[in-house]
Structure 1
Amino acid sequence: MRNHEVTKEQPLLDGAGKIAEPGWARQQVWQYDREKIQSPAFRIKEWDYYLVMNEDYAAAFTLSDDGYIGLQSVSLLNFKERWEHTETILTPFPMGKMKMPASSSKGDIIYKDRRLRLEYRVDSDRRMISCDFKDFYQGKPFYCEIALDQPKMDTMVIATPWSGKKAFYYNQKINCMPAEGYMSFDNVTYWFSPEKDYGTLDWGRGVWTYDNTWYWGSGNGTVGGRPFGFNIGYGFGDTTAATENILFYDGKGHKLDDVIFHIPEENYMKPWKFTSSDGRFEMEFEPVLDRTASMSAFIVSSDQHQVFGKMRGRAVLDDGRFIELKDFMCFAEKVHNRY
């Protein structure tokens, strides 16, 4: 059954190391246990990625243990001035040493080295991001203290296998978290206000195949006085059981079928289109800033285009109501990784 919703709490993996019940859920009903994975430690990938943004600027934070490499990253983006800077620190062979939590709802992650201190702390219904990055760009430091509130609401959780393999993708996207706090760089302080600014969490654990291309888009804002967000994406594994496409409106998730990204790959800054198999997500996308990055180190490579811009079009809720978007700030990306 396509878009099979899983509601029963259960272990993620069966005795053979494969996903016991593929599908999607509104909360983390699957229990992740690193010890149950029947793959070498260097193949296990665990990450927490936060994006906090508004119409004018954004910050992104990654803490990850990808087996034979760790990747810790901070991005600062200024949409009005159309510039961004990303600084990444690679660490060899963490293979579980970062002690990434087994659940998104509890457990802190703290990374420290001579240049970077990046902390994620989860306290009840609030998430704290604290960062001190020395020599972030042009010899200048970056600081931030940001709180994300997490009201009771639906999220997007998906458990996706790879057909015939022990590879799997267990992922949660939490949209529409009101953001409060600041970030500081180059004598400029950027403030986030919970009345209009939001954060997103991309929480993932899994074992992937070596060579993958994925597509992901996400956005948050206020529409009709209510929080509205969306998560769209594809490219990973066998999605026969469920897609990760969903709308969020006033705390409730409205599941979508397939969404296709129509990307002008000769120039990512040209307009994009998005179409859907069920007609419930039909959008045009005007790029503002392409956070492009390519990296190659040993057997690891990555080619990324995370494009921020303005979405306009129509989304349809489960009950048939239309959500009209106009200049809705969001992002969509295409990423090709070998690692």
Structure 2
Amino acid sequence: MQHELTAGELLDDRGRLREAGFARSEVKRYRRRAIGASRLRIKEWNYYCALNDSYGIALTVADNGYMGLLSVSWLDFATPKTSTESIMIPFPMGRMALPESADAGDIVQHHPKMSIAFRHEPGGRRIGIDCPGFGGGKGLKGELRLSQPPMDRMVIATPFPRAPRAFYYNQKINCMPVEGEVTMGGESFRFEPASAFGVLDWGRGVWTYDNTWYWGSASGLVGGRPFGFNIGYGFGDTSAATENMVFLDGHAHKLTDIAFHIPAGTYDGAPWTFTSSDGRFEMEFAPVIDRSAVFDLKFLRSIQHQVFGRFTGFVILDDGSRLEVKDLLGFAEEVENRW
């Protein structure tokens, strides 16, 4: 039985997690000033990814204590190929002022080489990007609106064993219809809400030094109905709850443990498989693009493989009904961090 969070403060007076578990909305209040660890240990980020069948964009704003990050990636599924531009910001330690809620507070970051804005507006969110040097000088600029009708999301509060001041508070909002345009190298790319969907990954916490995580996500239409999922594991103490959740028509269906089976030595070749402890989530994943990034100073390391591709399989909903999934576009990743 997985524990569902109650409303209230996330951390106690000593900066420790009050309650571990999952929720379907932002029931816990995160306050950065309540954290009991060094500012160098605090990790905060907002990540948006918007995809249609032909192309997509991923945007990151992160304050990881000793290093901040502004990043944009363009994904071309027809070719296939991906391009990324990233800006490192030394020792921001909270100066980037990332909001304490996923439901309020805007992010506006300006750098001579890149500007990113994540703004709230009635019924949704608006994201903007301007990166003149993207793609070797082609430039990338765009604005997208992500609609957010009333719907469940994945929320989880995870402790770390033997590290009482470490925790991860995470929210994933799937299945947001996307509308807007991105221009790159003089060519325009439209996103239409009938065929393009976005996800937000909102993360706040204090992490231990050495971790590897696995995360998968997809959003789209199955049988004409909004459908998506969030799956993952690999770090922390998940005995209270997992982050595995399926969404259909805006309603969440909670899953238990899911395992990623990645063919040895490859990320964009042979199919991956996903299996669940209760048989409710069984998928095969056909990789299309490996958006990889390696930063390795030995004592500081981030080795990322975010692989975009198509999921085929089935899920069992809470009422016992079976939903078939075929060629649903999404991603799955393996990320190793020493930070």
With normalisation by structure 2, the TM-score equals 0.97
Which residue is 1:115 aligned to?
A: 113
Which residue is 1:274 aligned to?
A: 274
1:53 aligns with 2:51: yes
Deviations 1:271-312 (A, max 9, x none): 110000010101111111111110135843211111111111
Give the whole-Å Cα distance in 1 for the aligned partners of 2:225 and 2:305.
30
Which residue is 1:173 aligned to?
A: 172
Which residue is 2:15 aligned to?
A: 17
Which letter does structure 1 place at the counterpart of 2:178? A
Kindly state the Cα deviation for residue 16 of structure 1 after the two structures are TM-superposed: 2.5
1:142 aligns with 2:140: yes
Which residue is 1:133 aligned to?
A: 131
Note the residue ranges of structure 2 that are not aligned, 5 or more in a row. Answer: none
Which letter does structure 2 place at the counterpart of 1:256? L
1:300 aligns with 2:305: no
Deviations 1:80-116 (A, max 9, x none): 1100011111000101101110001111101111111
Deviations 1:39-69 (A, max 9, x none): 0111111100000001111100000111010
Kindly state the Cα deviation for residue 124 of structure 1 after the two structures are TM-superposed: 2.8
Deviation beyond 6 Å, 4+ runs, structure 1: none
Which residue is 1:104 aligned to?
A: 102
Deviations 1:154-202 (A, max 9, x none): 0000000012311100000000001000111122211111112110000
With normalisation by structure 1, the TM-score equals 0.97
Kindly state the Cα deviation for residue 265 of structure 1 after the two structures are TM-superposed: 2.9
SS at match of 1:138: helix
Kindly state the Cα deviation for residue 15 of structure 1 after the two structures are TM-superposed: 2.1
Which residue is 1:77 aligned to?
A: 75
1:244 aligns with 2:243: yes
Give the whole-Å Cα distance in 2 for the aligned partners of 1:17 and 1:265.
40
244-253 or 323-332, which deviates more: 323-332
Which residue is 1:212 aligned to?
A: 211
Cα RMSD after superposing both structures: 1.0
Aligned residue pairs total 337
Give the whole-Å Cα distance in 2 for the aligned partners of 1:308 and 1:256.
22
Kindly state the Cα deviation for residue 224 of structure 1 after the two structures are TM-superposed: 1.8
Give the whole-Å Cα distance in 2 for the aligned partners of 1:203 and 1:108.
13
Which letter does structure 1 place at the counterpart of 2:287? P
Give the whole-Å Cα distance in 1 for the aligned partners of 2:159 and 2:290.
31
Which letter does structure 2 place at the counterpart of 1:79? F
Which letter does structure 2 place at the counterpart of 1:52? A
Which letter does structure 2 place at the counterpart of 1:176? C
Which letter does structure 2 place at the counterpart of 1:233? G
Which residue is 1:227 aligned to?
A: 226
Kindly state the Cα deviation for residue 322 of structure 1 after the two structures are TM-superposed: 1.3
Q: 1:216 to 1:37 in 2, by over 3 A?
A: same
Which letter does structure 2 place at the counterpart of 1:186? G
Kindly state the Cα deviation for residue 125 of structure 1 after the two structures are TM-superposed: 2.2
176-185 or 295-304, which deviates more: 295-304
